[in-house]
Amino acid sequence: MPLNTTTAPPFVTVLVRGLLAGLVAGLLAGAFAYVAGEPRIEAAIAIEEAATHAEPAAGGHQHEDALVSRSGQRGGLFLATGLFGAAMGGLLATAYVLLSRRRRAYDDGRSGLLLAGAALLGAVIVPFLKYPANPPAVGDPATINQRTVTYLLMVVLGLVAVWAGSLGYRAVGVGAPTWLRVAAAVGGFLLVTVVSYVVMPSFQEVPADFPATLLWDFRLASLGTQVVLWTGIGLLFAALMHDRRRATSAAPVT
């Protein structure tokens, strides 16, 4: 493997690229959420307010309209996804640098893409299938602390499941056929995921009269927001990590 003379960028440079990729991907995710998700949130809030007016003694969650107006919250969506995206992009860049210390060759941001895919699977899809996103009017305020803790635990378990998959892949030797290595990866991932799903508590708090189609549309929009976020972070980060000189020097001579 040819060692090239150009020096790799220092940590802070990689971190800034990750933050930038995350911020832009977060704003893109916000745009998706604004178009696909906001109409569903409005519809859900209308249902929530109708329920509150019907039984004023229930004392359910109030939307503090006095504090931030609905249009303010719609704009705040971009602030939330932008900041969250920047944080995730920075964490991805940090993981990339830590991983790259084990690696000698220039990888053209490939492990950044792999990490973004791993994060999408472990930190988004695995938790989502157990604890799907809920619109306003769904969810009992009395269990919010339990649901927050179990959700965070599920994010950790999802990442452990992906890690178990990569362990399985590497446990089967390099000489083994590809299908066997991938099967070991799938096995390791599924083992942790299925055990987590069985052990972790479930919450069934969708009101009986909440429209099923609205719930489905909201959840699809929520999942789509995260898919846009992580796809964007992975692609933008890999694009920023691309180094034309190193890419040409590493290209096979044919």
Partner 1 sequence: MSSSTSSQPLVHPAGTARLLWTVLTTVAVLTLLAYLVAFDQGAVSRSGMYLHELMHDGRHLLGVPCH
CA 8, CA 128: separation in Å to the nearest integer?
37
CA R_g for the chain: 22
H-helix segments, 37-69:
38-54
The one-letter code for the residue type at 154 is M
How many CB atoms lie under 10 A from the CB of residue 98? 10
Helices 144-171 + 110-119 axis angle, to 10: 140
69-108 residues near partner 1, rule: CB under 8 A: 72-74, 76-81, 83-84, 86-88, 90-91, 94, 97-98, 100-101, 103-104, 106
Figure out which of the listed residues 21, 28, 157, 221 binds partner 1, where binding follows CB under 8 A.
Answer: 221
The answer to whether 184 and 169 have CB atoms below 8 angstroms apart is yes
Distance of CA 152 to the CA centre of its chain: 12
Q: Which CB, 24 or 41, lies closer to partner 1?
A: 41
Figure out which of the listed residues 50, 144, 171, 239 binds partner 1, where binding follows CB under 8 A.
Answer: 144
| Contact flag: residue 3 with partner 1 (CB under 8 A) | yes
Question: Which residues contact partner 1 by CB under 8 A?
Answer: 3, 7-12, 14-15, 30, 33, 37-38, 41, 61, 63-64, 67-68, 72-74, 76-81, 83-84, 86-88, 90-91, 94, 97-98, 100-101, 103-104, 106, 124, 127-128, 131-136, 139, 141, 144, 147-148, 151, 218, 221-223, 225-226, 229
